[in-house]
Structure 1
Amino acid sequence: MANSVGKNLFRCINRILSVPTVSRVQIKGMSGGATRKFFPHASTYTDRRFLRRAMFYASLTGVPSLVVITYVNVFYGEAELSEISEGYVPKHWEYYPHPISRFIARYLKASPQQEYEKQAHVMELEHAKSVARKQEREIKRQMRKRGDGDYKFIPIKNSLQVLSNND
């Protein structure tokens, strides 16, 4: 049923897109009394192959997903609120009412505490970069002020070595 609907839809789209124009019509003038017209059409092989594969992969992922979602909704349903014991601290995924949302929050997403720690780490790195930039600006300012440059420092062993090199 679905395959025949897809074929009919595809035929309609193909007819709309391949309306012959004057520049596309070729006249076949061979031996014979009447001139026959030849209407060239583009191949639909790649279009049909794409549509078949798209439908296959959509059903390959869609059907199991629908089965799992339906099973969870029918047999489990949403969580109900109930009293909790004294001193119990709920986990972060226990705040979600739906089982699928709970599964995603528990196993696939980071907890809010982990997200906070990651953001704090990024902020600490950015703070360290800004401190380093400020120090570099201050060093360059002091170098300009004192007339220093980028020179290499060569350690001297004793003062006699300086005197002997200058001669």
Structure 2
Amino acid sequence: MVNWSAFRPLLTSPFLKNALNGAVKRNMSDHRVIPMQPSKWQWNKFKDLMNFYVLLGVIPLGAITLGTNIFIGPATLTKVPEDYTPKYWEYYRHPITRFIARYILNDPQQDYEKYLHMLYEESERARLRQIERMILNRMEKNEDYQAYYYRPVLAKYHRMSKDAADYLKTIRGD
């Protein structure tokens, strides 16, 4: 076997050292790794959406509000002709509030009538529940059958079934 220590002077020569320094080295045992850090994806997504909604909503609405306040301004009181009845949205002072009241929100009279209808429906339901309780109490007191579950039979269908039975009887000849 060859003595490997004989090659040591060759490996320490300056020529070979320069050749090895210029070569590509693989540092596999070094601890130079990518440091772990939290992702910035959620933050970037939040910034993108925030910019999008600001450009989409805040800037146009701000411009409309600014223009309305500068060029139109709040309403002023004036004399109303005798034969004119003001609309419900004309009672608001600011033009944006008037626009919202006229085109987006319901008429207060319509809301009031819907509320009255809801009260009427609830009172009818309460009245029907009270009548049902009275009937159940009366049935319990008299130990009666549940007669209000009876569904009347229409005589028309009874006559049709009787005619069909008579016709079948004549065909069979019984």
TM-score class, shorter-chain normalisation, is: 0.5 to 0.7
CA distance in 2: counterparts of 1:59 and 1:42, whole angstroms: 29
Q: Please list every run of at least 4 consecutive aligned residues from structure 1 whose deviation after the TM superposition is greater than 4 angstroms.
A: 35-38, 151-155
Per the alignment, residue 71 of structure 1 pairs with 67
Q: Quick check: which one's helix share is greater?
A: 2
Could you say what the CA RMSD is over the residues aligned between the two structures, in angstroms?
2.3
Q: Say which one has the larger Rg.
A: 2
| Code of the aligned partner of 2:139 | M
Cα deviation code 1:59-99 (max 9, x no counterpart): 21111111111111111111110111113221110000111
| Code of the aligned partner of 2:141 | K
Aligned residues: 125
CA distance in 1: counterparts of 2:136 and 2:81, whole angstroms: 63
The Cα shift of 1:149 comes to 2.2
TM-score (normalizing by structure 1)? 0.67
State the percentage of identical aligned residues: 37
Give unpaired runs (5+ residues) of structure 1: 1-29, 156-167
CA distance in 1: counterparts of 2:86 and 2:98, whole angstroms: 13
Cα deviation code 1:41-75 (max 9, x no counterpart): 01112321222122212221111111111111111
In the alignment, structure 1 residue 51 sits paired with structure 2 residue 47: yes
1:14-163 map, 5 Å: 31=29, 39-150=35-146
Give unpaired runs (5+ residues) of structure 2: 1-27, 154-174
